[in-house]
């Protein structure tokens, strides 16, 4: 049960196409931190889609937070998704909701009463430096601000597993380091984190073990 | 800061904008108008069929040729009247002239032949009436409307079935309209739906958002359609007043008001159920 992620011969292909992920084997315990690196097209985004339950594995076994995904009924997945935070390259914010409401969305889906969530969302927006932009729609925010909203939305529920795809791509150096402080704090509190990045400098400044993807195959490396 | 944020009632999927057009309420309103007309027609047909079948309008007509001729100590007409009893009513000469005017013109009273006496007796004929009338005044004719009333009853029943079929078709068309509108809403909010699905929203949560919005629009359209139907129905009721029972209400029967009151909730329910089914079927494609 302490294994947050367990991949056992896991593979993925879309439709009848060639496999994009092959024979993945990985065990990540609670509180692990990994950089996910690899060239473009290696399958990083597909692996993150697999781990955010956007797709189910085509082969092998996948266990997340103790739940065997290949056998889990569809109705069991929403509760699991609420324990997984994700930051996407394209942010995936709801364009008709304000920054506040985008960040509050996971709490509302979890059934948190309105009166209780406001303080948490306000605090989170303050932390990512957007307390003055709570009412702004995504279209009124810069790329960096949208990315910070996406990050705030991913971590507001203190997920057991956090997956981030190039989360610093639109942030300046100071903001990126501030984000890494937040991720470190979450990691220290027990959240398992995988961050996909091309940013070699960021990896160098925050050393951790790496997962390398090449041609759909995964290798785990040292820090 | 917080005070200026959106109200408590959430619209996470932006459905007020995605499903804001007039098309759905207008089309559902038109369906409600048709349903009101068909349903009221069905109710009226059911009432007529019941009245014709249960004898409420049955009359036996007795025709006595040569009514002034003697039949024992009295005339043939009086003899027949005594057999028929006090429930029978003899048509006055003026009434008889009115009935015969299409064939005999205005001068029926001056014809060189004696007009028959005509009696009407409400209800079905008592047993043995033919035999007793023949003894009292031979040649007397007894005419019953039973056959025609039965046929009219069947006609009314078939009209009732047609009204039921129309209601069914209207409900199916309304459901199809709702399914198309829901599909359009899903297409417009596909990304939003996938995002909230990825954040852990259940199928029930997402379907409930769509179904709630669609139900409000459908019920609103049905209210408008039903309100439009009321003056039409009152006008039709006045045109068909001769078919109505003697104690018919001034505007519309109570059953019709109940039918009209039930249309908006029914439209809302059809909208809610159809939207739920459409959204859940769409969501089933997601992992």
Distance of residue A35 Cα from the nearest chain B Cα, in angstroms = 22
Q: Where in chain A is the domain with CATH 3.40.50.300?
A: 1-83+160-223
CA distance to partner chain B, nearest, from residue A172 (Å): 26
Q: pLDDT tens digits for B147-159?
A: 677 777 788 888 8
Distance, CA of B92 to chain centre: 37
The tens digit of pLDDT for each residue in B164-212 reads 999 999 999 999 999 999 999 999 999 999 999 999 999 999 999 999 9
Q: Show residues of chain A in contact with B17, CB under 8 Å.
A: 96
What letters, b where the CB count within 10 A reaches 16 and e where it falls short, cover B1-31? eeeebeeeeebbbbbeebbeeeebbebbbbb
Shortest Cα distance from A147 to chain B (angstroms)? 15
Taking CA B142 as the corner, what is the angle to CA B137 and CA B145, rounded to the nearest 5 degrees? 165
Output the DSSP codes for B40-89. HHHHHHHHHHHHHHTTTT-EEEEEESSTTSEETTEEHHHHHHHHH-TT-E
Mean pLDDT of all residues belonging to chain B? 85
Taking one residue from A and the other from B, the number of pairs with CB-CB distance under 8 angstroms is: 76
Read off the pLDDT of residues B218-273 as tens digits, 9 standing for 90 and up. 999 999 999 999 999 998 888 877 666 666 666 788 889 999 999 999 999 999 99
Bridge-based pairing of strands A84-87 and A161-165 is: parallel
Residue B5: pLDDT band by 50, 70, 90 thresholds? very low
Instruction: Please classify residue A120 by burial: count the beta carbons closer than 10 Å to its beta carbon, then call 0-12 exposed, 13-18 middle and 19+ buried.
Output: middle
Does the pLDDT of residue B7 top 50, yes or no? no
pLDDT band at A209 (very low <50, low <70, confident <90, very high): very high
CA distance A41 to A45: 8
Is the Cβ of B198 closer than 8 Å to some Cβ of chain A? yes
A167-202 confidence digits (pLDDT tens): 888 778 888 888 888 889 889 989 999 999 988 888
Mean pLDDT of chain A: 90
Neighbours of B33 (CB within 10 A): 22
Per-residue confidence (pLDDT) for residue B237, from 0 to 100: 82
pLDDT number for residue B6:
43
A81–B205 CB contact, under 8 Å: no
pLDDT of residue B250: 63
pLDDT at B129 (0 to 100) = 86
B17/A96 touch (CB, cutoff 8 Å), yes or no: yes
Per-residue pLDDT, B146: 65
Residue B57 is predicted with a pLDDT of 61
- CATH number (3.40.50.300, 3.30.1490.190, 3.40.50.150, 1.10.1740.10) of A1-83+160-223 reads 3.40.50.300
Output the pTM of the full model.
Answer: 0.77
Kindly indicate the confidence band of residue B145, based on its pLDDT and cuts at 50, 70 and 90. Answer: low
The H or E element spanning position A67 is strand A67-68
Q: Which of A78, A94, A134 sits opposite B1 (nearest CB)?
A: A134
Looking at residue A75, what is its pLDDT? 93
Taking contacts as CB-CB distances below 8 angstroms, the residues of chain B near A75 are 202-203
Higher pLDDT, A145 or B97: A145
pLDDT digit string, tens, across residues A38-56: 988 888 999 999 999 999 9
- Mean pLDDT (whole number) for A149-164: 94
Give the per-residue pLDDT at A107.
93
Q: Look at residue B53 and tell me whether its pLDDT is greater than 60.
A: yes
Q: Which residues of A touch B201 (CB under 8 A)?
A: 78, 109
- The minimal CB distance from B199 to the residues A96, A105, A118 is found for A105
Is there a contact between A123 and A140 (Cβ–Cβ < 8 Å)?
A: no
What average pLDDT score do residues A9-17 get? 90
Q: What residues of A are in contact with residue B185 (Cβ under 8 Å)?
A: none
Q: B202 vs A86: CB contact, 8 Å cut-off?
A: no
The pLDDT of residue A222: 67
Give per-residue pLDDT as tens, A160-169: 999 999 888 8
Q: Which of A94-98, A125-129, A198-202, B178-182 has the lowest mean pLDDT?
A: A198-202
Residue B12: which of A78, A80, A94 has the nearest Cβ? A94
In this complex, which of A56, A94, A101 lies closest to B287 when CB atoms are compared?
A: A56
- ipTM of the predicted structure? 0.90
Q: What are the sequence ranges of the domains in chain B?
A: 10-53+156-283, 59-144
Given a cut of 90, is residue B94 above it in pLDDT? no
Tell me, yes or no, if B247 comes closer than 8 A to chain A by beta carbon: no
- Percent with pLDDT over 90 in chain A: 63
Strands A192-196 and B74-75: unpaired
Q: Give the integer Cα–Cα distance in Å for B217 and B225.
A: 12
Q: Is the pLDDT of residue B48 over 90?
A: no
């Amino acid at each position: 049960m302490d294994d947050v992620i367990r991949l056992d011969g896991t593979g993925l292909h879309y439709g009848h196409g060639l496999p994009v992920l092959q024979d993945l084997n990985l065990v990540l315990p609670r509180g692990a931190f990994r950089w996910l690196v690899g060239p473009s097209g290696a399958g990083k985004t597909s692996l993150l889609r697999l781990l955010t339950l956007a797709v189910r594995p085509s082969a092998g076994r996948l266990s997340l937070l103790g739940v065997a995904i290949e056998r889990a009924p569809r109705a069991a997945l929403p509760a699991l998704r609420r324990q997984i935070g994700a930051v996407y390259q394209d942010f995936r914010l709801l364009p008709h909701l304000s920054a506040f409401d985008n960040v509050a969305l996971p709490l509302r889906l979890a059934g948190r009463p309105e009166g209780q969530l406001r303080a948490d969302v306000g605090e989170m927006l303050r932390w990512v430096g957007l307390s003055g932009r709570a009412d702004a729609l995504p279209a009124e925010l810069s790329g960096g601000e949208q990315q910070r909203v996406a990050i705030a939305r991913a971590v507001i529920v203190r997920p057991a597993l956090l997956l981030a795809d190039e989360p610093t791509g639109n942030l300046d150096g100071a903001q990126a380091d501030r984000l890494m402080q937040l991720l470190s704090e979450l990691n220290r509190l027990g959240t398992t984190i995988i961050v996909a990045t091309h940013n070699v400098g960021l990896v160098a400044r925050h050393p951790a073990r790496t997962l390398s993807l090449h041609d759909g195959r995964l290798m785990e490396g040292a820090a | 800061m917080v005070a200026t944020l959106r109200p408590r009632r959430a619209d996470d999927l932006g459905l007020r904008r995605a499903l804001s057009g007039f098309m759905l309420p207008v089309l559902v309103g038109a369906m409600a108008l048709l349903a009101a007309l068909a349903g009221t027609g069905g109710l009226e047909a059911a009432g007529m069929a019941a009245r014709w079948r249960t004898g409420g309008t049955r009359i036996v007509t007795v025709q006595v040729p040569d009514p002034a001729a003697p039949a024992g100590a009295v005339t043939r007409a009086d003899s027949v009247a005594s057999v028929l009893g006090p429930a029978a009513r003899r048509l006055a000469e003026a009434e008889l002239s009115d009935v015969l005017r299409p064939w005999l013109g205005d001068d029926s009273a001056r014809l060189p032949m004696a007009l028959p006496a005509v009696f009407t007796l409400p209800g079905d004929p008592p047993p043995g009436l033919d035999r007793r009338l023949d003894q009292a005044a031979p040649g007397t004719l007894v005419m019953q409307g039973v056959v025609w009333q039965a046929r009219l009853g069947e006609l009314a029943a078939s009209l009732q079935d047609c009204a039921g079929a129309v209601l069914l078709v209207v409900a199916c068309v309304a459901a199809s309209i709702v399914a198309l509108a829901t599909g359009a809403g899903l297409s417009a909010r596909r990304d939003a739906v996938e995002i909230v699905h990825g954040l852990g929203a259940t199928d029930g949560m997402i379907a409930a958002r769509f179904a709630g919005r669609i139900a409000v629009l459908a019920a609103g359209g049905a209210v408008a359609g039903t309100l439009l139907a009321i003056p039409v129905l009152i006008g039709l009721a006045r045109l068909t007043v001769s078919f109505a029972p003697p104690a018919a209400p001034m505007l519309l029967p109570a059953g019709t008001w109940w039918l009209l009151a039930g249309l908006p909730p029914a439209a809302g329910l059809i909208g809610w159920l159809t939207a739920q089914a459409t959204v859940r079927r769409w969501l089933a494609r997601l992992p």
